[in-house]
Amino acid sequence: MVRAGLAPIPAEIAGESGADLRLLHESGLPEEAYLLEVMPSGVEIRASGGAGWFYGLQTLHQLLPGDGSLPDAGYWTLPCVRIEDRPRFRWRGLMLDTVRHFFPVEVLKRLLDQMARYKLNVFHWHLTDDQGWRLQILRYPLLTEVGSRRTESPLAGDRDSGDGVPCGGFYTQDEVRDVVSYAAERQIRVVPEIEMPGHAGALIAAYPHLGNTDAPGFHPAVWTRWGVSPQILAPTDEVFEFLENVLGEVAGLFPGDFIHVGGDEVPKQQWRESPRAQKIMKAAGLKSAEEMQTWFLARIEKFLRAQGKHLVGWDDISEGGLLPSAVVMVWRDWEWARKALAAGNPIVMTPTSHCYFDYLQGPQESEPEAIGGDLTLETVYSFKPVPGDFPGGEAGVLGIQGNLWTEYIRDRDHLDYMAWPRAAALAEVAWSPCGSKDWGSFERRLASHVPVWKTRGIRFRPLDLPGTADGREP
DSSP 3-state assignment of 243? helix
**Three-class SS string for 173-219?**
HHHHHHHHHHHHHCCCEEEEEEEECCCCHHHHHHCHHHECCCCCCCC
- The nearer residue to ligand TNX, 46 or 150, going by C-beta atoms, is 150
Residue 334 to residue 353: CA distance in whole angstroms: 10
Choosing from 32, 37, 97, 129, which is the catalytic residue?
A: 129
> Catalytic residue among 101, 199, 354, 449, which?
199
Q: Strand 34-39 to strand 81-85: parallel, antiparallel, or no bridges (unpaired)?
A: antiparallel
The answer to whether 37 contacts ligand TNX (rule: CB under 6 A) is: no
Compare residues 170 and 336 and give the one whose CB is closer to ligand TNX: 336
Decide if residue 356 touches ligand TNX (CB under 6 A): yes
The nearer residue to ligand TNX, 19 or 371, going by C-beta atoms, is 371
Which has the closest alpha carbon to 260: 350, 171, 390?
A: 350
* Helix, strand or coil, per DSSP, at residue 383: coil
Nearer to ligand TNX, 98 or 187 (CB): 98
Helices (H) and strands (E) in the chain, counts: 17, 17
For 128, the enclosing helix (H) or strand (E) is: strand 128-129
- Report the residue number, 221 or 371, with the smaller CB distance to ligand TNX: 371
The smaller minimum CB distance to ligand TNX, of residues 336 and 442, is found at 336
Q: Which amino acid is at 118?
A: Y
**How near is the Cβ of 371 to ligand TNX at its closest, in Å?**
5
We find the least distance from the C-beta atom of residue 95 to ligand TNX, in angstroms, to be 9
Near ligand TNX by CB under 6 A: residue from 175, 244, 265, 273: 265
Would you count residue 371 as binding ligand TNX (CB under 6 A)? yes
In angstroms, give the least distance from the CB of 301 to ligand TNX: 18
For residues 358 and 378, which CB has a smaller minimum distance to ligand TNX in the complex? 358
Question: Three-state DSSP class for 87?
Answer: coil
Number of residues near ligand TNX (by CB under 6 A): 9
For residues 183 to 222, the per-residue mask of contacts with ligand TNX, x marking binding by CB under 6 A and - elsewhere, is ----------------------------------------
Contact status, residue 180 vs residue 252, Cβ threshold 8 Å: no
Distance of CA 212 to the CA centre of its chain: 30
State the Cα–Cα distance between residues 17 and 304, nearest whole angstrom.
50
Among 32, 37, 193, 264, binds ligand TNX (CB under 6 A): 264
Which of 32, 301, 358, 374 lies at the binding interface for ligand TNX (CB under 6 A)?
358
Closest CA to 293 of 318, 315, 275, 276: 318
Smallest separation, CB 380 to ligand TNX (Å): 15
Taking the complex as a whole, the smallest distance from the CB of residue 98 to ligand TNX amounts, in Å, to 12
If one asks whether residue 125 binds ligand TNX (CB under 6 A), the answer comes out as no
Active site residue 389: no
- Judge whether 129 counts as a catalytic residue: yes
Q: At what angle do helices 50-63 and 105-117 cross, to 10 degrees?
A: 80
When asked if residue 102 is in the footprint of ligand TNX (CB under 6 A), the reply is: no
Instruction: Work out which of 242, 405, 442, 453 binds ligand TNX, going by CB under 6 A.
Output: 405
**Separation between Cα atoms, residue 403 and residue 233, nearest integer Å:** 25
185 is catalytic: no
Going by C-alpha positions, the residue among 348, 345, 339, 298 that lies closest to residue 196 is 298
Q: Which letter does DSSP use for residue 330 in this model?
A: E
Q: Which residues are catalytic?
A: 129, 199, 265
Binding site for ligand TNX (CB under 6 A): 264-265, 314, 331, 356, 358, 371, 405, 407
